[in-house]
Amino acid sequence: MANLKQQWASVEQTQKDVEKLETDKKAIQAVLAEIEGWEQTRFDSHKLLWTLPAMVPDTIQLTQLTLGESFELQEKSLMRAGKLYLTGKVGARHPRMM
């Protein structure tokens, strides 16, 4: 019995170190999964910019385009929000009818 206690004493710290490493590994994997999830929600601005000329009539001259991204708290969940702001000039007789 004394021999078993001596063997356990020699490996006990190693066992505790391994358990801590396993806990750390799980925490790191959880963070990585979270990051990968955010990566999948990324806004593909190039797709929007590619289709923008087809959406804007010829009589409108864009003077400023601002594309932004932020994180917002919605119902206790953090969400990614994309915002597009356009300003421009209209070259028509009745611009409100455009």
Q: What is the pLDDT of residue 41?
A: 78
Helices (H) and strands (E) in the chain, counts: 2, 2
pLDDT by residue (tens digit) across 31-40?
Answer: 898 888 877 7
Give the pLDDT band (50/70/90) at residue 11.
confident
Give the pLDDT band (50/70/90) at residue 92.
low
Compute the Cα dihedral for 87, 92, 95, 97 and give only its sign.
negative
Beta carbons within 8 Å of 65's beta carbon, 6+ residues apart: 52, 84, 85, 86
**89: number of Cβ within 10 Å:** 10
Between the CA of residue 6 and those of 3, 12, 14, what are the distances in Å? 5, 10, 14
pLDDT by residue (tens digit) across 37-86?
Answer: 877 777 788 888 898 888 888 888 889 999 888 888 888 888 888 888 99
**pTM (2 decimals)?**
0.48
